[in-house]
């Protein structure tokens, strides 16, 4: 799994402030976004303009989350995917979403198994 590029100090300070509930909710929200995007990438569903608008909502939510927790690479990946729109082919769109999903999974993994979680 790729090491997530994120501001771990910021993320840790947020979790410290909001406690276990916030950590769990952040993780759940990120995983929901990841699941929704995976469904678009790996199901038989066509990523056509209509479906892309569904993805756009998820990408927007994910971007807001990523900005808040300092996941800079995920922010960038989301923005790139959002900018693609419907002008490019399915393969390019899927590739872009796969990148987002991979980065999102890395961030989720960090949140789930933070090194200092039990410290």
Partner 1 sequence: MKPAKAKLGLMLVEDTPSLQMLYRTVLKKAGYDPICASTGAEAQALFAAERPPVVLLDLVLPDCDGLTLLTEMLAEAPETRVIVITANGSVAKAVQATRKGAFDFLVKPLGDLRMIGAVANAMTEYQSITQGAGKGMSHAIRSRQDAFVAQSEPMRQVTTVIDAVARSNAPVFIIGASGSGKAACAEMIHLRSSRAAKPLIQVDCGLPDTQALEAMLFGTGPQGDTSQSAIQRAKGGTLFLRNPQKLTPLLQARLLSVLNTGKSAESQPGDAPVDIRIISAARRDPLEAIRAGEMEEALYYRLFVLPLTLPPLHARPEDLPVIAAQFLLEIAQQEGKQFKRITPEALALLQAQPWEGNLHELRNVLRQAVVLHDGPDLTPAMLPHMSREPNHASPGAPVILDLDTALAGLTMAEIEARAIRAAIARNGGSIPRAAQELDIAPSTIYRKRDDWEKNAH
> Smallest distance from the beta carbon of 54 to partner 1, in angstroms?
11
Cβ closest to partner 1, residue 57 vs residue 86: 57
Rounded Cα–Cα distance for residues 69 and 54 (Å)? 23
Q: Please say whether the beta carbons of 81 and 36 come within 8 A.
A: no
Rounded Cα–Cα distance for residues 23 and 31 (Å)? 12
Cβ closest to partner 1, residue 1 vs residue 17: 17
> Smallest distance from the beta carbon of 44 to partner 1, in angstroms?
25
> Smallest distance from the beta carbon of 50 to partner 1, in angstroms?
17
> Smallest distance from the beta carbon of 77 to partner 1, in angstroms?
14
Cβ closest to partner 1, residue 18 vs residue 90: 18
**Residues at the site binding partner 1, with contacts judged by CB under 8 A:** 14, 17-18, 21-22, 25-26, 28-29, 57, 60-61, 63-65, 67-68, 70, 79
- The candidate with the shortest Cα–Cα distance to 100, out of 53, 30, 10, is 30
Task: For residue 113, give Cα distances in angstroms to 24, 76, 99.
Answer: 11, 23, 21
């Amino acid at each position: 799994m790729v090491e997530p590029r994120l501001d771990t100090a910021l993320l840790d300070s947020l979790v410290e402030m909001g406690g276990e509930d916030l950590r769990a909710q952040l993780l759940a929200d990120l995983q929901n976004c990841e699941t929704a995007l995976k469904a678009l990438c790996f199901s038989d569903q066509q990523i056509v303009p209509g479906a892309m608008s569904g993805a756009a909502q998820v990408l927007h939510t994910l971007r807001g989350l990523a900005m808040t927790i300092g996941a800079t690479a995920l922010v960038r990946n989301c923005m790139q995917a959002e900018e693609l729109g419907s002008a490019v082919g399915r393969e390019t769109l899927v590739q872009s979403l796969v990148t987002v999903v991979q980065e999102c999974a890395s961030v989720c993994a960090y949140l789930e198994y933070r090194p200092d979680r039990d410290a």
